[in-house]
Amino acid sequence: MLIVLFSCSSLIIINYLTIKTLSACRAYIDGESHYSKAQKDATLHLITYLYSENKNEWSLFNQELVIPEGDKIARFTLENGGSIDTIEAGFKTGRNNPKDIDDLIWLYKNFQSISFFRDAIIQWEAADQLVDNLAELGNEVNQKIVANNLSEEEKSILLVKINLLSVELSKYGNKFAETLAEGSRDAKKYLLLLNVMFTLIIIGSVSVYYLRMLKKLNHSKLKTDATNLELLIVNKELDKFVYSASHDLRSPISSLKGLIEVMKSEDDLEQIKSYLTLMDGSLDKQDQFIKDIIDYSRNKKSEISIENVSLKTVVETSISQNKYLQESKNINVYTNLTIDLMNSNALKLNIIINNLYTNGIKYYDATKERPSIAINAFEEDDSYILVIEDNGIGIKPEFHSKIFEMFFVTNNESKGSGLGLYLVKDAIEKLKGTIKIKSKIGVGTQFIISLPKNYNEQS
């Protein structure tokens, strides 16, 4: 909008200058008409005086010459940077309209270097010189009349000289007016072109601004639609979460209550121990489910804060936290981290590593001689690549596209809550990354994660 403001201001200034320039040119042309009339009247009075020797005509001749003399004084003072009062007095003597004097002065000061106005001034100077010559010729006529020393032949010669000066003055006067008229037309043309140019700039700028606003509105609408769609998805997830959470939280409690009732009537110590083992497993499952719910809540509420995160620390913490799980004692863990500091988010990275690592523990293959989990990390172009793989029981191909859904479990005996992989995918998406799965029943599972090195450059 600064361009529009500048263009509008320029238009106002240009239009003001156009009006002022044309007004000043018109004032000079009007002034020239008074100048020419005075010169012609002075010539007429001098010729009359030459033949009538009437002193009144001589007086009138001198009175008319005062008019071009006043303009001459104004021009000379302007040319030499003299007093404004002297300039104004000169123009007033030249019978210029007092209301035009400011424009006359302004045009002379600002246009004296412009070619058309400079040419007009040259015509003016030449005319002033001829007026001086006319005044000298008038003095010569007056001296001879006073001395009574003027023959008919001399009168004829003087008459010719007076007429020649008059003709030359008329030529210079006409050239002065024509030069100013032509110059004002050119100035008007150029100023009109500037008017058109700035008008087009205003129209173009307003059009661009309108299109940008339209684009912003369209973008805002798309963003609102996307937000609404996201809210619909979140609401569906919330409904599903509330239903599944209430069911999965109550299920272990119901199981525990059932086992307690059975134990009340049981006397066999070994059987009681087996019931306690079942109760312990049920509590572990509920504990894991509650942890997943906490992770879910933290993941949804937390803002993305990108910082330097030590991947080595995240991996070591995850391994340390899960080393007391019964299954972890049977699993060999291998790490190969060629990178440590990552430009990422500690909470999201912890959710990703911990959930994939605990999944490898939960679904290890007890029939294999050396159950293992491997965590590898390296850089590739503009990305961090994390690969977590195990040689566990594997995942059926038909489940590969569903395992990241909320509360999805492969069967009723699943050891997970159905939230872990959902949280992993959600955390990766928030970090603007991707995850791929490769898995085969009886062979194992591999998760390949790609995270951008520069989070802020991702769209």
pLDDT tens-digit readout, 225-270: 777 776 676 566 555 455 445 445 555 665 566 667 666 677 777 7
311 & 206 share domain:
no
User: Among 182, 210, 238, where does a domain finish?
Assistant: 210
Band of the pLDDT at 413, cuts 50, 70, 90?
low
pLDDT of residue 244: 47
Higher-pLDDT residue of 187 and 120 is: 120
Residues 195, 336, single domain; the answer is no
377 in helix, strand or coil? strand
In a domain, 273, yes or no: no
**In-domain check, residue 362:** yes
- Give the end of a domain, one of 187, 210, 233: 210
Confidence of residue 84 (pLDDT cuts 50, 70, 90): very high
Provide the b/e sequence for 59-74 (b: ≥16 CB within 10 Å).
Answer: ebbbebbebbbbbbbb
Return d(Cα 385, Cα 130) in angstroms, integer.
97
Q: For the chain, what percent of residues have pLDDT higher than 70?
A: 81
Question: For the chain, how many structural domains are there in total?
Answer: 2
The answer to whether residue 410 sits within a structural domain is yes
Is the domain of 26 the same as that of 151?
A: yes
pLDDT at 310 over 90: yes
Higher-scoring residue by pLDDT: 48, 228? 48
pLDDT for residue 217 is more than 70: yes
pLDDT: which is higher, 296 or 155: 155
Burial 413-429 (b: 16+ CB within 10 A, else e): eeebbbbbbbbbbbbbe
For residue 443, the enclosing domain spans 306-457
The answer to whether residue 244 sits within a structural domain is no
Average pLDDT for residues 286-308, to the nearest whole number?
A: 64
* Backbone dihedral angles phi then psi of residue 302, each to the nearest 5 degrees: -75, 145
Q: What is the DSSP letter of 404?
A: T
Which of 42, 277, 53 has the alpha carbon at shortest distance from 143?
53
Q: For residue 302, which of 347, 343, 342 has the smallest C-alpha distance?
A: 347
Beta bridge partners of 434: 450
Judge whether residue 192 has pLDDT over 70. yes
Per-residue pLDDT tens digits for 429-446: 989 999 999 999 989 999
pLDDT higher at 223 or 430: 430
The fraction of the chain above a pLDDT of 90, given in percent, is: 36
CATH of the domain at 410: 3.30.565.10
In a domain, 157, yes or no: yes
* Tokens of residue 97, six digits: 């309209």
User: Which residues, 6 or more positions from 262, have their beta carbon under 8 angstroms from its beta carbon?
Assistant: 275
Same structural domain for residues 206 and 311? no
**Which band of pLDDT confidence, cut at 50, 70 and 90, is reported for residue 285?**
low
Six-digit token pair at 302? 């937390």
* Greater pLDDT, 304 or 248: 304
Report d(CA 364, CA 373) in Å as an integer: 9
Residue-wise pLDDT tens digits, 376-396? 999 998 999 999 999 999 999
Which residue in 282, 431, 446 sits closest to 345, CA to CA? 431
**Cα dihedral sign for 226, 227, 228, 231?**
positive
Does residue 225 lie in a domain region?
Answer: no
Q: Is 313 in the same domain as 190?
A: no
Same domain, yes or no: 189 and 319: no
Average pLDDT rounded to a whole number, residues 92-107 = 91
pLDDT at 302: 56
Tell whether the model's pLDDT for residue 13 goes beyond 60. Answer: yes
Do 65 and 201 belong together in one domain?
yes
For the CA atoms of the chain, what is the radius of gyration? 52
CA-based torsion, 156, 161, 164, 166: positive or negative = negative
Angstrom distances, CA of residue 14 to CA of 22, 187, 287, 297: 12, 11, 80, 65
Closest CA to 252 of 223, 290, 220, 306: 290
Q: Do 33 and 178 reside in the same domain of the chain?
A: yes
- pLDDT, average across residues 299-307: 69
Q: How many CB atoms lie within 10 A of CB 381?
A: 7
Residues 427 and 316 in one domain: yes
Mean pLDDT over each residue of the chain, to the nearest integer:
82
Query: Which pLDDT value is given to residue 247?
Result: 43
pLDDT for the residue 279 = 66
Question: Among the three residues 210, 228, 250, which one is the final residue of a domain in this structure?
Answer: 210
| Per-residue pLDDT, 230 | 67
The per-residue pLDDT for 207 is: 77
Rounded Cα distance between 416 and 363, Å, is 9
The closest alpha carbon to 105, from 91, 124, 123, 115, belongs to: 91
Distances (CA, A) of 268 to 45, 260, 265, 332: 154, 14, 9, 37
Using CB atoms within 10 Å of the CB of residue 132, give its burial: 0 to 12 exposed, 13 to 18 middle, 19+ buried.
middle
Q: Say how far apart CA 360 and CA 366 lie, in whole Å.
A: 12
327 and 445 share one domain? yes
pLDDT of 417: 61
Residue 276 lies in a domain: no
Q: Are residues 312 and 428 in the same domain?
A: yes
On whether residue 336 sits in a domain, the answer given is yes
Higher pLDDT, residue 313 or 17: 313
295 class by beta-carbon count within 10 Å (0-12 exposed, 13-18 middle, 19+ buried)? buried
Q: How confident is the model over 133-152, as pLDDT tens digits?
A: 999 999 999 999 998 888 88
